[in-house]
Amino acid sequence: MTDSGATPPTVFVLFGASGDLAARLVLPAFYRLAQEDLLPAAWQLIGSGRRELSDDDFRDHVRSKLDEFGPKPEDGPWEEFSQRLRFASNGFSVDDPGELVDAVARAEEELGDGDPSSVQRVHYLGVPPTAFEPTTNALGAHGLDERSRIVFEKPFGTSLESFHSLDEVVHDVYDESAIYRIDHFLGKEATQQLRALRFANGLFGSSWDRHHVASVQIDVPETLDVADRAEFYDETGAVLDMLVTHLFQVAAEVAMEPPKSLGSDDVAQARADAVKAFRPLEADDVVRGQFAGYRDIDDVPDDSDTETFVAARMFVDTERWRDVPFLMRTGKMMAESHQKVTLVMRDPDDGPYHASGTSGTGAEIPARGNVLCFDLSGDGALALSMNIEVPGSQSALETQWTQINLHDAGGDPLPPYVRLIHDILIGDRSLFTRPDGLEEVWHAAGAALDGTTPVESYEPGSWGPESALRLADPVGWALG
């Protein structure tokens, strides 16, 4: 992990500083960086919003959110940290910069030790996607784009047309090298272990293709509902919130060809090339659902047809993955919560054993007996199931699992947002998405976005609509 103390003095502007995203993810991540001594030697965090808050009011707000979401203020350098917090009230727009321009100027005078131009700026847009374009334009209009990096939350656009519009606006103000589009699934330590397992281990790398893999499954069911952010969720839905952002990017990590190096440009190019090979989803490839009772939640319209569940079967048109289904599923209020990437391996097609459900005189191979599974939650884990002969039997087989917990490997993995914000501060773009890959995502999403698939009801605590089961035939879902 690179020491952020070697980076220039930094003003970190957090738009939407009093919002839910800042409270749950950005502010806790920033405080964790302070705990780990990974912030620049000189920095200030300026919250920006419409609310009338003094610096002390904002400090009290941040402290209350850390008490709620952690890390606890008393578990870190709170007194020193809090003195670097500022707030700029009265909003920020092209026509009216509020207090932000003056607040940034004061911070740069303090941090630059007489040379404000030595201070880098980071603008973090923790605001609704509809505010991305006007905020970016305002940064350009008031000169705050100079010496700065800009960070966008997902989704970067809500359709191909809106993506093109936003991309044009952003590139009118910023060079691509200064743009950071966050996808926290790419920041997960376990997601990065996918590369190590494949490219550093011949045992797995040689089997990473259609000849050995029957299906790839990216499964992120959640038991949570949406009550704490119902208004945002109803405008977004599972397709935009998860499928075309996180799940597609993880699919690209699995599907990509070996990059020329682990450098940020080479990895990003390999990931973008994989997305370009995604075959557009058709109606038969997609199932959308909404859990019963969703419309009874406050801030959800009585006639809402927003999906809280989506499952998709996608194909990657490369020689490596031809005809292998990439199965993706996510939803709210489901039976269990997981974040798993599973490669179901093919059964041997010859030899003395035979696959489950087929005829033959040899011992039967259990269905889905040979599976490679990455758990992306928490610190992450790698699990492998194998078919072994039952001791003392007449060649009977059973499946046994072995697991490696990534925290057992040593080191101190950082949570995704902590890792990604640290990378932004030091200028490492390897875990961030590129516009060419994102544009292809909208083409690939096809029937998941165009409204041609109906929204089916499913019971809370289930695995979603029954019709989603057919997408995984004949292998079946590994979960559920």
Q: Are 244 and 276 contained in the same domain? A: yes
Q: Read off the pLDDT of each residue in 140-148 and give the average, rounded to a whole number.
A: 98
Residue 98 pLDDT class (50, 70, 90 cuts) = very high
How far apart, in whole angstroms, are the C-alpha atoms of residue 101 and residue 344? 54
- On whether residue 335 sits in a domain, the answer given is yes
The residue among 289, 334, 325 whose CA lies nearest residue 453 is 289
Q: Are 214 and 289 contained in the same domain? A: yes
How far apart, in whole angstroms, are the C-alpha atoms of residue 309 and residue 320? 29
How far apart, in whole angstroms, are the C-alpha atoms of residue 451 and residue 159? 12
Residue 412 pLDDT class (50, 70, 90 cuts) = low
pLDDT in tens, 57-67: 999 999 999 99
pLDDT in tens, 418-427: 999 999 999 9
The residue among 13, 100, 38 whose CA lies nearest residue 423 is 38
Task: Write out the DSSP string of 371-391.
Answer: EEEEE-STT-EEEEEEEEEPT
- On whether residue 420 sits in a domain, the answer given is no
pLDDT in tens, 299-343: 999 999 999 999 999 999 999 999 999 999 999 999 999 999 999
Residue 239 pLDDT class (50, 70, 90 cuts) = very high
How far apart, in whole angstroms, are the C-alpha atoms of residue 231 and residue 474? 38
Which token pair is 181?
Answer: 């589009």
Domain end, chosen from 132, 155, 181, is at 181
Angle, vertex CA 129, rays to CA 127 and CA 134, nearest 5: 80
pLDDT at residue 102, rounded to an integer: 98
CB atoms within 10 A of CB 60: 14
Higher pLDDT, 216 or 390: 216
Q: Are 236 and 343 contained in the same domain? A: yes
pLDDT at residue 201, rounded to an integer: 94
pLDDT at residue 367, rounded to an integer: 76
The residue among 360, 406, 362, 368 whose CA lies nearest residue 386 is 368
Residue 439 annotated as binding site: no
pLDDT in tens, 34-54: 999 999 999 999 999 999 999
- On whether residue 421 sits in a domain, the answer given is no
Given a contact cutoff of 8 angstroms between Cβ atoms, the answer to whether 109 and 140 are in contact is no
Given a contact cutoff of 8 angstroms between Cβ atoms, the answer to whether 459 and 453 are in contact is no
* Most confident of the ranges 105-109, 199-203, 225-229, 243-247: 105-109
CB atoms within 10 A of CB 106: 17
How far apart, in whole angstroms, are the C-alpha atoms of residue 127 and residue 396? 58
Residue 145 pLDDT class (50, 70, 90 cuts) = very high
H or E segment and range at residue 442:
helix 435-445
How far apart, in whole angstroms, are the C-alpha atoms of residue 342 and residue 300? 34
How far apart, in whole angstroms, are the C-alpha atoms of residue 382 and residue 190? 8
Residue 154 annotated as binding site: yes
Q: Are 30 and 134 contained in the same domain? A: yes
Which token pair is 160?
Answer: 């191909």
Q: Are 284 and 376 contained in the same domain? A: yes
pLDDT in tens, 449-469: 988 899 999 999 999 999 999
Of 246, 338, 354, 422, the active-site residue reads 246
Task: Write out the DSSP string of 149-177.
Answer: EEEEPSPS-SSHHHHHHHHHHHHHHS-GG
Residue 167 annotated as binding site: no
Residue 121 annotated as binding site: no
β-strands 309-315, 286-291: how paired? antiparallel
- On whether residue 328 sits in a domain, the answer given is yes
The residue among 476, 252, 226, 197 whose CA lies nearest residue 344 is 476
pLDDT in tens, 125-139: 999 888 999 999 999
- On whether residue 153 sits in a domain, the answer given is yes
Given a contact cutoff of 8 angstroms between Cβ atoms, the answer to whether 85 and 45 are in contact is yes
Q: Are 166 and 244 contained in the same domain? A: no
Domain of 22, in residue numbers: 4-181
- On whether residue 318 sits in a domain, the answer given is yes
- On whether residue 422 sits in a domain, the answer given is no
The residue among 184, 192, 203 whose CA lies nearest residue 415 is 184
- On whether residue 137 sits in a domain, the answer given is yes
Which token pair is 438?
Answer: 């994102």
| Residue 5 pLDDT exceeds 60 | no
Query: Is 443 annotated in the active site?
Result: no
Mean pLDDT over all residues of the chain? Answer: 92
Which token pair is 367?
Answer: 């269905």
| Residue 362 pLDDT exceeds 70 | no
Q: Are 257 and 285 contained in the same domain? A: yes
H or E segment and range at residue 219:
strand 213-221
> In CATH, what number is assigned to the domain containing residue 320?
3.30.360.10
pLDDT at residue 303, rounded to an integer: 96
pLDDT at residue 50, rounded to an integer: 92
pLDDT at residue 359, rounded to an integer: 46
160-173 and 435-445 helices, crossing angle to 10°: 170
Q: Are 193 and 177 contained in the same domain? A: no
User: Three-class SS of residue 48?
Assistant: strand
How far apart, in whole angstroms, are the C-alpha atoms of residue 208 and residue 95? 54
Q: Are 137 and 261 contained in the same domain? A: no
Tokens 């199931």 belong to residue: 385
Angle, vertex CA 41, rays to CA 153 and CA 106, nearest 5: 75
Domain end, chosen from 181, 208, 228, is at 181
CA torsion angle 338 343 344 348 (round to 10) = -160
pLDDT at residue 350, rounded to an integer: 75
Domain count, the chain: 2
User: Three-class SS of residue 275?
Assistant: helix
How far apart, in whole angstroms, are the C-alpha atoms of residue 150 and residue 153? 10
Q: Read off the pLDDT of each residue in 144-160 and give the average, rounded to a whole number.
A: 93
Q: Are 66 and 104 contained in the same domain? A: yes
Q: Where are the alpha helices (DSSP H) in 43-188?
A: 55-69, 78-82, 100-111, 132-141, 160-173
The residue among 2, 15, 8 whose CA lies nearest residue 151 is 15
pLDDT at residue 189, rounded to an integer: 81
Domain end, chosen from 181, 215, 233, is at 181
pTM: 0.89
Residue 211 annotated as binding site: no
pLDDT at residue 4, rounded to an integer: 56
| Residue 237 pLDDT exceeds 60 | yes
Q: Read off the pLDDT of each residue in 402-428 and give the average, rounded to a whole number.
A: 86
Residue 184 annotated as binding site: yes
pLDDT in tens, 263-289: 888 988 999 999 999 999 999 999 999
Given a contact cutoff of 8 angstroms between Cβ atoms, the answer to whether 178 and 301 are in contact is no
Given a contact cutoff of 8 angstroms between Cβ atoms, the answer to whether 327 and 315 are in contact is no
Q: Are 208 and 96 contained in the same domain? A: no
Residue 241 annotated as binding site: yes
What residues pair up with 309 in beta bridges, in sequence order? Answer: 289, 331
